């Protein structure tokens, strides 16, 4: 086992503290282990890029801003944002010019590393970047890992493996909590939309109006509503209008033409189809069977 600890300035580009580590045989076969761990302060904009490394990288933005690149994707990141990256694929990171960043990071590998990474990506919808629950906790883990690398024994590797596991678990927990929060927000949006439809179902172009209001494309809005209520928003609007049409037929003496317009259906052919498919009869037959005022 061995390590290198150096504080340096690279041509005025960065100030870094980084520590390298070569794992012992037991750690390499049985533990998560550190390959490199450190912190960095950018002095001027620069882009660091690599690929084909047998390593995983955790990166946390302590301050400032920049961009993280993974494969064909790019992510703008700021203080509190983090990334978990499979370094066998192309990746890069670049500090901004206006707000140079300060980073903490650890390259790691070992027993279960790939499985943990795959679980993280599954929970984070195949995105490498996420918002840390607490960037200070991530800084603490990196500091503890750096302290461990000053030692050259198995006990330090056992401690490093435990710290890495806590760090990775916190990455996964962070994205799971954010996903739950996002789902809760979607549920709230869908509840608001349902109430709006119940009040404004007669309004023309209601679906488009709701999509614009909530800044969602129509497919996303339909999928969101269906996930929450088991029916697409388009069908919910149509069902609400169909129900309104049946209420008007049963409890008023308004002509069918007015029923078509006031229910929001607004189309003769669609109106006839809804009654034929939904009730197996015409609107007039439905009224004769169900209207309380018809004797």
Phi-psi label, residue 110: left if phi above 0, alpha if psi -120 to 50, beta otherwise: left
Rounded Cα distance, 46 and 291, in Å: 76
Q: How far is CA 292 from the centre of its chain?
A: 52
Q: How confident is the model at residue 14 (pLDDT cuts 50, 70, 90)?
A: confident
pLDDT tens digits for range 212-226: 999 888 998 998 899
Please list, in sequence order, all residues whose beta carbon lies within 8 angstroms of the beta carbon of residue 289, skipping any fewer than 6 positions away.
281
Whether pLDDT at 191 is above 50: yes
Per-residue buried b or exposed e for 47-66, using 16+ beta carbons within 10 Å of the residue's own CB = eeeeeebebbbbbbbbebbb
Of the candidates 162, 2, 129, the residue with the CA atom closest to the CA atom of residue 59? 129
Of the CATH numbers 1.10.10.60, 3.40.640.10, 1.10.357.10, 1.10.3210.10, which one belongs to the domain with range 201-295?
1.10.10.60
Residue 209: the pLDDT is 95
> Mean pLDDT throughout 44-62?
93
Residue 185: the pLDDT is 78
Q: Does domain 3-180 have CATH number 2.60.120.280?
A: yes
208: phi then psi, degrees, rounded to nearest 5 = -65, -40
> Mean pLDDT throughout 249-256?
94
Rounded Cα distance, 229 and 194, in Å: 9
Rounded Cα distance, 243 and 240, in Å: 5
> Mean pLDDT throughout 177-192?
80
Whether pLDDT at 12 is above 80: no
Residue 182: the pLDDT is 65
Please list, in sequence order, all residues whose beta carbon lies within 8 angstroms of the beta carbon of residue 192, skipping any fewer than 6 positions away.
none
- In this prediction the pTM is 0.64
Mean of the per-residue pLDDT values of the chain = 91
Question: Where exactly are the structural domains of the chain?
Answer: 3-180, 201-295
pLDDT tens digits for range 67-93: 999 999 999 999 999 999 999 999 999
pLDDT tens digits for range 161-176: 999 999 999 999 999 8
CA-to-CA separations, 103 to 75, 91, 129, in angstroms, rounded: 15, 16, 14
8 A C-beta contact, residue 58 and residue 83: yes
8 A C-beta contact, residue 110 and residue 27: yes
Rounded Cα distance, 168 and 240, in Å: 47
Residue 10: the pLDDT is 54
pLDDT tens digits for range 93-132: 999 999 999 999 999 999 999 999 999 999 898 999 999 8
Residue 3: the pLDDT is 43
Residue 228: the pLDDT is 87
Report the percent of the chain where pLDDT is more than 90: 79
């Amino acid at each position: 086992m061995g390590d290198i600890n150096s504080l340096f300035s690279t041509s005025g580009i960065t100030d870094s503290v980084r520590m390298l580590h070569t794992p012992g045989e037991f750690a390499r076969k049985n533990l998560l282990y550190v390959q490199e761990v450190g912190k960095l302060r950018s002095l001027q904009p620069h882009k660091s890029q690599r690929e084909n490394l047998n390593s995983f990288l955790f990166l946390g933005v302590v301050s400032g801003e920049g961009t993280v690149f993974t494969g064909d994707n790019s992510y703008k990141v700021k203080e509190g944002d983090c990334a978990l990256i499979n370094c066998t694929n192309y990746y890069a990171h670049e500090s901004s010019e206006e707000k140079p960043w300060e980073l903490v990071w650890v390259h790691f590998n070992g027993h279960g590393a790939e499985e943990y990474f795959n679980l993280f990506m599954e929970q984070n919808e195949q995105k490498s970047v996420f918002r840390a629950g607490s960037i200070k906790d991530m800084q603490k883990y990196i500091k503890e890992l750096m302290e461990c690398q000053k030692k050259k024994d198995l006990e330090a590797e056992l401690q490093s493996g435990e710290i890495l596991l806590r760090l990775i678990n916190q990455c996964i927990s962070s994205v799971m909590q954010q996903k739950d929060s996002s789902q809760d927000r979607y549920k709230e949006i869908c509840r608001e939309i349902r109430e709006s439809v119940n009040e404004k179902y007669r309004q023309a172009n209601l679906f488009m109006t709701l999509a614009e209001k909530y800044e969602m494309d129509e497919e996303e809005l339909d999928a969101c509503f269906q996930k929450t209520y088991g029916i697409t928003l388009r069908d919910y609007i149509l069902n609400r209008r169909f129900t309104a049409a049946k209420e008007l037929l049963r409890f008023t003496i308004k002509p069918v033409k007015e029923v078509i317009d006031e229910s929001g259906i607004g189309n003769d052919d669609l109106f006839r189809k809804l009654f034929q498919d939904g009730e197996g009869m015409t609107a007039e037959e439905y009224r004769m069977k169900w209207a309380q005022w018809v004797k």
